[in-house]
Amino acid sequence: DEARRLARVRHHNILTVYGADQHGGRVGMWTEYVRGKPLEGYISEHGALSACEAAVIGLDLCRALAAVHAAGLVHRDVKTTNVMREEGGRIVLMDFGSVAEAPERGLSAWNAGMHGTPISMCPEQLKGKVGGPATDTYSLGVLLYRLVTKRYPIEASTLEELEEKHRRGAQTP
């Protein structure tokens, strides 16, 4: 399913899927090979990015997400570990395992519940509501914040603590 959803989107900043198959009871897909590091690994190794460098990455991801949304999909798990920085500098959005049809394209039981990584989710997603393109935009904001600070706007060690901090508006400017 992930391969089929990802194959619907063709964009320079989105991982290209070449195919999927089942062999010996296991399902797999083959994609382009991206030689580089996830953004999380990059900031761990090099430190926080400048606002200018983060903005350039943000523009690439905005273009990628625009292509995802134009295909009627919502990524639902935009975070620094799901974005690669290729050795030549290209930014590549990956991991479409949590992708869902955008609400205006129709809902299904698959869309219900929480999908993604809580620390990067908007409050509505934490409540299990189906997200639309705005939820990806929120997660992109969290990703950009992380790139320039190496922190999250709201940090918590449990889901309950995270939800409570969202309720109180306890984000760090």
For residue 137, which of 59, 53, 40, 62 has the smallest C-alpha distance?
62
Identity of the amino acid at 126: L
Place of tokens 């400048």: 50
What residues contact residue 10 under an 8 Å CB cut-off, 6+ apart? 16, 67
Cα(61)–Cα(67) distance, rounded to whole angstroms?
Answer: 10
Cα(104)–Cα(101) distance, rounded to whole angstroms?
Answer: 8
Which CA distances in Å does 69 have to 30, 37, 65?
23, 25, 6
C-alpha 85: how far from chain center: 14
Cα(127)–Cα(163) distance, rounded to whole angstroms?
Answer: 8
60 is an active site residue: no
Cα(26)–Cα(46) distance, rounded to whole angstroms?
Answer: 37
Of 1, 21, 60, 77, the active-site residue reads 77
Show which residues are catalytic.
77
